Amino acid sequence: MVLRGAGATLPHRLYAHWIERYERMVPAVHVDYQAVGSASGLRQLYAKMADFGASDAPAHDAPFDLLHVPTAVGAVALAYRLPGLDAPLVLRPTAIAAIFGGDARRWTDRRIQEDNPHLQLPDLPVTPIFRSDGSGATQIFTEWLGEHAGSKRRGMVAHFAAGIGARGSNGVTAAVTRIPGALGYVEVAHARASHLVVAEIASRAGDAPVALDDESVDLAARSLRHDLPLTTRLGTNLPGSYPLTSFTYLLVPRETADDGRASALARFLFWVLGPGQEDCAPLGYRPLPVAVAARARRDLVSELRAGSRAALRAD
Amino acid sequence: MLRADAAAERRRAARQIGFSRRAGLLVAGASGGSALLAAAVVAGALAVTFALAWPSLRAAPLSFLGGASWDPSTRVFGALPLIAGSALTTTVAIFLASPIALGAAFFLGEVAPRESRPILDAVLDLATAIPSVVWGLFALDVILPALASHLYPVIYGDRAAEVSPGGFGLLSGGIVLAAMIVPTIAGVAREVVRAVPDGDREAAIALGATRWEVVRLVVLPPARAGLVGAVLLGLGRAVGEATVMSMILGGRAQIPTALASPGATSSSLLLDQLAEATDPPHVAALGHVALALLLASLLSHAVARLLVARSTTARAARGLP
């Protein structure tokens, strides 16, 4: 039996690892995941050419009911290249919006300096680096900026007024490492792998800046909001939680025909939400908080229907 | 006895003729079918692109091309930034590449000693085969930093890092494209030059022409159309190049303020955005850009082939040695 999935490129390594492990355990099931990008994956899912999709951001425009299954916790880092600084850079939404909007052109700009009284910022031009191709990271970044700095541009493809658009996370990494004074947003897995220097972030005026590390991401992940519609980001109000944290989702149709595939997929997801979670950390993600994984498992049982019966049955 | 042999002979001959007639039909059918298939693929590509672009075509077929702003998040789509980007990069590329390529072609076609030609030809053909991604990596690691540290400070002075951060931008794109299309243009131009019959050259020398007069009076006139065709083929490749452009242009779909500013071309934008676009107006606008690009490419390619054919077959058709 072949289950077809298509979607986001970033979790590809994680999903490939899960698939490989699961197929060894359950040889009868073969999962074929194509990392074609969140939007392409959704298109295939809506056209019923894929059994599940994968996206860093919730899908709001599906033609049929989808269950969003969180599978791991990821975060978006703000990486920069400023040689000679002896402490991490601190950034707040106003400064970031000014940079990406083209208003703050040099690192000595008042808005950036305000957030960093402890640093002697060099007089270099700021080059914001954004994703020229669509990505979940752009969605997370723009939604956060939209909520805290009022910018209008949101979505997977964002048109920024300044800087360089780079292709893929690799492109952003390449640009940040090559251009002095660059500032780019990139998934934490890439930032860690390339040893990029990342900024400390604070969402609101009175918040203390938070460094990007396992604890701050885990803290953010634990403050999930259980209401629908799903938001991209998690609660940012806990002190010490990293604001640009989000789940990455697998999207599954709630109602499918009763041909065994829905059950097989549900069982695979059930495993991902259990034993699979231990694979997250080595691959640059954080595992889901226990409560979130448990709730997601309950949803698999109660929400997925194959034909007239539940897809996931005790057997 | 003899008659039986003769009859057997005739039957065998008849079978052979039948076989070769069938073989002939088979070959004709297969090659004709392949040609039809190729034409069908082109027609299919046109049809699919047209269908994709239809919502945008229906709304604003021509004013779309003049729209100055491309912003998916506010659903404002205008193709002018992309047309400007494509025009700028290809113009720079053709400007830089043509003299070099045509010079190389003349060298290979006229000047180079005959013994060296096979090797030099092979080197040129290899250069045509370098994959785009390899060019992209070479550009990122070598060409862009070199431009950023040596060329742009000369042109822009202190503003160089602001105009073209890290060397990313349209001028860099044009320069890299020039390097990529030199082999393409030179290869075709070389054949065009070689297609001029040696007999003509010899006749001119016999009449007392100098080396340069031979080139000017005997080689250039019939080759001229073909050389233009070679340049047009290079232009076609330049316009279509997406991978390298996506890596080094700086992905900004806006009308450039300076030659070296970041920008985007039609091809690089399609590569960046088509796979991820879900919003129907966005997809239709991308289809519209794709259609314009496809038609422009087909047109320039057709004209190029026509011109090259005129040069290489014209003299043969006139029956000259």
pLDDT tens figures, B96-141 = 999 999 999 988 888 888 898 899 999 999 999 999 989 999 999 9
Please identify among residues 45-84 of chain B the ones whose CB lies closer than 8 Å to any CB of chain A: 70-74
SS3 A67: strand
**In which band, very low, low, confident or very high, does the pLDDT at A7 lie, cut at 50, 70 and 90?**
confident
Q: What is the pLDDT of residues B21-64, one digit of tens each?
A: 778 888 888 888 999 999 999 999 999 999 999 998 888 888 88
> In the predicted model, is pLDDT for residue A2 greater than 50?
yes
Percent of chain A with pLDDT over 70: 92
CA B200 – CA B141 distance, rounded (Å)? 48
Q: Is the pLDDT of residue B320 over 60?
A: no
Two tokens, residue A282 = 């080595």
Inter-chain residue contact A167 with B252, CB threshold 8 Å: no
Condensed to tens digits (0 to 9), the pLDDT of residues B280-304 reads 888 899 999 999 999 988 888 888 8
Contact yes or no for A134 and B276 at CB 8 A: yes
Subunit contact A159:B168, Cβ cutoff 8 A: no
C-beta separation of A176 from A81 below 8 A: yes
Task: Please give the Cα distance from B256 to B173 (Å, whole number).
Answer: 13
Residue B319 pLDDT: 52
Q: What is the pLDDT of residue A228?
A: 44
Q: Which of B158, B278, B279 to mutate to test the interface with A (most CBs of A within 10 A)?
A: B278
Nearest residue in B to A44, CA atom? B278
pLDDT interval class at A22 (50, 70, 90): very high
Residues of chain B numbered 230-269 and touching chain A (CB < 8 Å): 246-247, 250-254, 262, 264
- Asked whether the beta carbons of residue A127 and residue B145 sit closer than 8 angstroms, the reply is no
Q: What is the mean pLDDT of residues B237-265?
A: 91
Q: Which single residue is written with the structure tokens 């025009």?
A: B87
* B chain contacts of residue A157, beta-carbon cutoff 8 Å: 72-73, 273, 276-277, 282
Task: Give per-residue pLDDT as tens, A49-65.
Answer: 999 999 877 777 788 88
The whole-number pLDDT of residue A207 equals 83
The verdict on a CB contact (< 8 Å) between B73 and A152 is yes
**Which of A105, A152, A178 has its CB closest to that of B166?**
A178
B72 contact partners, CB below 8 Å, separation of at least 6: A155, A157, A158, A159, B273, B277, B279, B282
Q: Tell me which chain B residues have a C-beta less than 8 angstroms from the C-beta of A62.
A: none
Evaluate whether A56 touches A9 at the Cβ level (below 8 Å).
no
> Is the CB of residue A184 less than 8 Å away from at least one CB of chain B?
no
State the pLDDT confidence band at B213, using cuts at 50, 70 and 90.
confident
Residue A193's φ and ψ, nearest 5 degrees, are -60, -35
Q: Mean pLDDT across the stretch B196-202? A: 89
In this prediction, residue A260 carries a pLDDT of 83
How far is Cα B196 from Cα B207, in angstroms, rounded to an integer? 18
Residue B314 confidence (pLDDT): 57
Residues 88-127 of A with CB under 8 A from B: 105, 124-125, 127
Tally of residues, chain B = 321
The per-residue pLDDT of chain A, averaged, comes to: 85
Mean pLDDT across the stretch B134-152?
93
Which of A61, A165, A181 is closest, CB to CB, to B250? A165
Please check whether residue A24 touches B, CB under 8 A: no
B82–chain A nearest CA distance, Å: 14
User: What pLDDT does residue B149 have?
Assistant: 92
Q: Say which of A38, A42, A167 has its CB closest to residue B246.
A: A167
Reported as a single tens digit per residue, the pLDDT across B175-186 is 999 999 999 999
> Which amino acid type is present at position A165?
G
Q: CB distance A125–B246 less than 8 Å?
A: no
| Model confidence at B242: pLDDT above 90 | yes
Q: Are A312 and A67 in contact (CB under 8 A)?
A: no
Q: Averaged over A242-262, what is the pLDDT? A: 86
Shortest distance between the Cα of A160 and any Cα of chain B, in A, equals 8
Q: Can you tell me the distance from the alpha carbon of A9 to that of B80, in angstroms, rounded to the nearest whole number?
A: 31
Quick: pLDDT tens for A222-244. Answer: 876 554 445 555 556 688 888 88
Distance CA A146, CA A153 (A): 7
Interface test with B, best of A38, A178, A183, A251 (most B CBs within 10 A): A178
A167–chain B Cβ distance below 8 A for any pair: yes
CA–CA separation, B255 and B277 (whole Å): 22
Residues with Cβ within 8 Å of A63's Cβ and at least 6 positions away in sequence, in order, are: A46
pLDDT of residue B154 exceeding 90, the answer is yes
- Domain segments of chain B: what residues? 1-59, 61-317
Does B74 contact A163 at a Cβ distance shorter than 8 Å? Answer: no
The yes-or-no verdict on residue A160 having pLDDT over 60 is yes
Q: pTM for the complete prediction?
A: 0.81
Contact B73/A179, CB-based, under 8 Å?
A: no
Total residues found in chain A within this entry: 315
Assign B315 a pLDDT band (cuts: 50, 70, 90).
Answer: low
Q: Which helix (H) or strand (E) holds A101?
A: none
> What is the rounded end-to-end Cα distance, in angstroms, of chain B?
53
Total beta-carbon pairs less than 8 A apart between chain A and chain B: 104
Predicted confidence at residue A142, as pLDDT, reads 86
**C-beta atoms of B250 and A164 within 8 A:** yes
Cα dihedral value A101, A102, A104, A106, nearest 10: 140
DSSP H/E element including A310: strand A309-310
Residues A24-38 pLDDT 10s:
999 999 999 998 777
The predicted structure's pLDDT at residue A157 = 67
> What's residue A227's pLDDT?
46
Q: Is the pLDDT of residue B166 over 70?
A: yes
Strands (E), chain A: 2-7, 30-34, 52-55, 66-80, 90-91, 127-131, 164-166, 182-187, 197-198, 200-201, 245-253, 255-256, 305-306, 309-310
Q: Which of A53, A44, A43, A51 is CA-nearest to residue A9?
A: A53
Give the model's pLDDT for residue A229: 46
Backbone angles phi, psi at A307, to 5 degrees: 70, -125
pLDDT tier for residue A200 given thresholds of 50, 70 and 90: very high
Residue with tokens 């970031």, as numbered in its chain: A96
Arithmetic mean of pLDDT, A90-100: 91
Contact (CB<8Å) B165/A163: yes
Are the beta carbons of A165 and B264 separated by less than 8 Å? yes
Q: B166 vs A156: CB contact, 8 Å cut-off?
A: no
| Residue B123 to chain A, least CA–CA distance (Å) | 31
CATH topology classification for B61-317? MetI-like fold (1.10.3720)
User: By CA distance, what is B69's nearest residue in A?
Assistant: A159
User: Residue B16: what pLDDT?
Assistant: 65
Q: Do B273 and A42 touch (CB under 8 A)?
A: no
Cβ contacts (< 8 Å) between B251 and chain A: which residues?
Answer: 130, 132-133, 164-167
CA distance B171 to chain A (A): 14
Q: For position B321, what pLDDT does the model report?
A: 43
Taking each helix axis as running N to C, give the angle between helix B280-317 and helix B80-106, from 0 to 180 degrees, rounded to the nearest 10: 20
| Contact (CB, 8 A) for B218 and B204 | yes
